[in-house]
Chain A
């Protein structure tokens, strides 16, 4: 999860999606292309091992029913076009190779013309823009799902296959008189910071369920800002986390 977020040097924002089923893997792959086209940014589809290897019913809609978005193409006078000049939503219109714009694209920090600019001022300008383009559109990008959260005393935060165990755990916990709810992260990056912060203000604890030894858990803890304790239910992989294990933790938390 963190490699998706911080897998390269320097600062940047990234979009990463976490499907919880083969059907969602299908839909989120389309979403990923659309987000990538909209924001001119690589988008990661983070299927965990179980979702990736699971067979399940998938309904594939007719191609005509799939909504696709395309990047904003370059337009206007070719001698005035700058390939990295901010347009609507902070995204620069993009000239395709062969469209006659003679664009230069470089992995080096660059100016609006695409030419290398390694100065501190140049880096500040470019990286602030690239970061802001995603930060300013967080509300449009971030997708989450809530389950029985409205009156929850304990909120589970989970994603991928672990969110399905968490869903079962919420019902089992409720049956045992524990008011649990689930916030499922469909978008993991950018992280729904405000949502977690608000949640932390109205629950007794936040329980992160994930197939690692605590990565998103640390993000949840950070966003909770001490308003509620952040607790991890995680393991190193090889099997899905059983709902019983989550319920046991919820039960222990509810007794404190």
Chain B
């Protein structure tokens, strides 16, 4: 191959020291690449603020030849890479240049979400209907009747009309164009000008692989393109705000959250040493909130506290367990093997930790709801009849904390009140305080 001529009009945009390139003679990538460079030159954009991002494959090598900030990224990931770049540096013009295998097969999911998200990217795809670099296997756009190196596989799958996918996914600009169309560069300029996600799907010939066994020519490409449905109306209906700008506008409206509260030690703790508390309940009983309140209460007495929760991945069914450790020394081991205190508010939570009850001695206090039954245990049982007291299931945990505070087990009324002030505000705080007051008149009985 000849060396790059010194007076080539695109030399300013080429890493001429890397020429000759690797592409086969007659490959559609060359035409598409030079049309893309011409479009960039004619766009009037500041080219020092323009970046090209490629994936993997023959077309993916384009980034290695263009004299811009250029990134040859992992297979299928050019669009997420470009998305990050455009969001971090909105002043950049970002062009993705890659092939059908990279963008639509390996990176198909990123492509769909790129179109849906509408970040201002120009995606230039050289669509040559196969994975050329790896030997001519079928890609997402291989026609069913084509002969490719992966045997019959392409005959079983429908090829993607990627512009239709882009339109369905929300792109505002998607153009199918033959790599031999004299207006190719103009179409690319339109895509570059489009404020949002824009796709140029360039149908080209892979002479080294696909073209060897499949009769394909500029004429057959034009005929195939003509048979595809027009997308003008769908694309027009997708017009909307560019993602990055909309994101920055929305983010600017957000008020910075207040810094986290600095909790002062204000109260003497009711006991010294390490206390392990197990809260056992079911979904919706606010067990985890109760664990948080317990930790906050501990902090108001200058104690260290850890909380580890256990619930099924969903939140509206099953057990809800919170393990809390409070200590006047820094907490090393965060597990609970022999709790000092067990609060049993629902059968689901008890079932989850059924194994521990046998191990408990009389020094462990178990505060249980009357309608919950426990496995055999030597723990000291206190019982609360929530139903008789008219306490709703979702209020049991807070009522139980009130009971513990009255008995000065782990926390006091002062600590609990201060913790509620830290955890809640407004109406929720009033409701919690009121509920606590009501519960305070109905002590638990030894079960």
Contacts and interface: CB of A to CB of B under 8 A. Distances in A.
Interface of A: 50, 53-60, 95-108, 115-116, 161, 164-165, 167-168, 239-240, 242-244
B26 to A, nearest CB: 23
B91 A104 contact: no
Given A53-B309, A116-B64, 13 more contacts: A50-B308, A54-B306, A55-B292, A55-B308, A57-B305, A58-B260, A98-B51, A98-B89, A98-B91, A102-B67, A104-B70, A165-B332, A165-B333
Contact of B307 (A56, A105, A115, A161): A56
Contacts of B295: 55
Nearest 4 Cβ contacts at the A-B interface:
A106-B72, A55-B307, A240-B335, A168-B332
A165 B337 CA distance: 13
B299 A57 contact: yes
23 contacts: A50-B308, A53-B308, A54-B306, A55-B292, A55-B306, A55-B307, A57-B263, A57-B305, A97-B51, A97-B69, A97-B92, A98-B92, A100-B48, A102-B48, A104-B15, A105-B71, A106-B64, A107-B72, A116-B64, A161-B334, A165-B335, A240-B334, A243-B332
Given A98-B89, A104-B64, A106-B72, A54 B333 contact: no
B302 to A, nearest CB: 11
B304 interface: yes
B358 interface: no
Contact of A105 (B15, B72, B259, B335): B72
Nearest to B67: A102
A104 to B, nearest CB: 5
B109 interface: no
Interface of B: 15, 18, 48-49, 51, 63-64, 67-74, 85, 89, 91-92, 259-260, 262-263, 291-292, 295, 299, 304-309, 331-335, 337
Contacts of A101: 69
A64 B115 CA distance: 40
Contacts of B331: 56, 164
B307 A98 contact: no
Contacts of A56: 304-307, 331
Given A115-B18, A239-B335, A242-B337, A105 B70 contact: yes
A247 to B, nearest CB: 11
A57 to B, nearest CB: 6
Nearest to A108: B72
A104 B63 CA distance: 7
Nearest to B262: A59
A172 to B, nearest CB: 10
Contacts of A58: 260
Contacts of B71: 104-106
Contact of A167 (B91, B292, B332): B332
Contacts of B63: 104, 106
Contacts of B64: 104, 106, 115-116
A108 B306 CA distance: 46
A106 B55 CA distance: 10
A54 B263 CA distance: 19
A187 to B, nearest CB: 21
A105 B334 CA distance: 45
B307 A54 contact: yes
Contacts of A99: 48
Contact of A97 (B85, B299, B304): B85
A60 B307 contact: no
Interface centre among A95, A102, A108, A164 (most CB of B within 10 A): A102
A168 B335 CA distance: 11
Given A104-B63, A105-B72, A57 B335 contact: no
B67 A50 contact: no
Nearest to A164: B332
Contacts of A102: 48, 67-70
A100 B91 CA distance: 13
Report which residue of B85, B307, B331, B332 has the largest number of chain A beta carbons within 10 angstroms of its beta carbon.
Answer: B332
Nearest to B61: A116
Nearest to B70: A104
A50 B72 contact: no
Nearest to A20: B332
A98 B72 contact: no
A221 B72 CA distance: 40
Nearest to B81: A105
Nearest to B48: A100
Given A98-B49, A165-B332, A60 B73 contact: no
A240 B334 CA distance: 7
A28 B437 CA distance: 44
Contacts of A242: 333, 335, 337
Given A107-B74, A164-B333, A57 B304 contact: yes
A115 B18 CA distance: 9
Contact of B69 (A50, A103, A116, A243): A103
Contacts of B260: 58, 60
A98 B70 CA distance: 10
A145 B71 CA distance: 41
Nearest to B335: A240
B48 A98 contact: yes
A50 B306 CA distance: 11
Contacts of A116: 64
A107 B91 CA distance: 25
Contacts of B92: 97-98
